Amino acid sequence: MIFRNTARAKQAAIFGAATLGTLLLAPLAISRSGITPAHAAGASVAPTTAGYAAATGTWGVDKSHTDIGFAITHLAVSKVRGHFNDFEGTVKVDGVKPENSSVSFAIKTASIDTANAQRDGHLKGADFFDAEKYPEITFKSTKIVQKGKGFTALGVLTLHGVSKTVAMPFTVQGPVKGPDGVQHLGVDTLLTINRQDYGLAWSKVVEGVSMVSNDVAITISLDLAKKPAA
């Protein structure tokens, strides 16, 4: 995998432009969404167990408003960030008994995107994800545990053909009704895994420093849309 200074600079520029664009366009997006400023500010949709209790039902992923990202350390001094652009999932919520809720998720490995085509090609290859052999990354919960104002999803993460039990803490925002009349629920989680545990063992050392860290921080921000009752 080749991490060039120019690639990092390009990525930083893209990130900076995206951040500025978000700040400039946020008021317009809020006004068009039908969500009140109070909702946008988080006054009514702050992370809460009450939101979970009101969310009983089956929810699908709103892909256009969901982000599945990751960050890994490069040469022990900087972060390389990326995303997966193709995924699907279903969340079933039991607001009365959270332990009966469930999460099922699948990410298309080949949809990895780090804003660098050469690096993405390397990541999709046999040195890393081997996307042709292992086309999906999946998570299936076995139990949901309530902890204070948050929750933890216990389940099995399968990556690169290796399945391991993980604990994924998450918070819930909402639900709120969108302009289309559909209820939306926000779920945010942060999970750190060791890539070596999943057989992603490629490594290169430059002057005693590893090019790629073993720890990978995974950040998931879901926008869930409620499905009609069967």
Q: What is the DSSP string of 23-41?
A: HHHHHHHHHHHT--HHHHT
Residue 3 has pLDDT above 60, yes or no: no
Which tops the pLDDT comparison, 42 or 211?
Answer: 211
- Report the pLDDT averaged over residues 194-221: 86
137, 107 Cβ separation under 8 angstroms: yes
At residue 25, the pLDDT reads 34
At residue 32, the pLDDT reads 32
pTM of the model: 0.74
Complete domains list, the chain, with CATH:
5-226 (2.40.128.110)
Please confirm whether the linkage preceding 27 is cis (ω < 30° from 0). no
Residue 9 has pLDDT above 70, yes or no: no
At residue 215, the pLDDT reads 92
pLDDT tens for 47-104 read 556 666 778 999 999 999 999 999 999 887 889 999 999 999 999 999 888 899 999 9
Pairing mode of beta strands 162-177, 136-147: unpaired
Beta-carbon contacts of residue 163 (< 8 Å; ≥ 6 apart): 156, 157
At residue 49, the pLDDT reads 64
pLDDT tens for 122-151 read 999 999 999 999 999 999 999 999 888 789
Residue 174 has pLDDT above 60, yes or no: yes
At residue 158, the pLDDT reads 98
At residue 78, the pLDDT reads 83
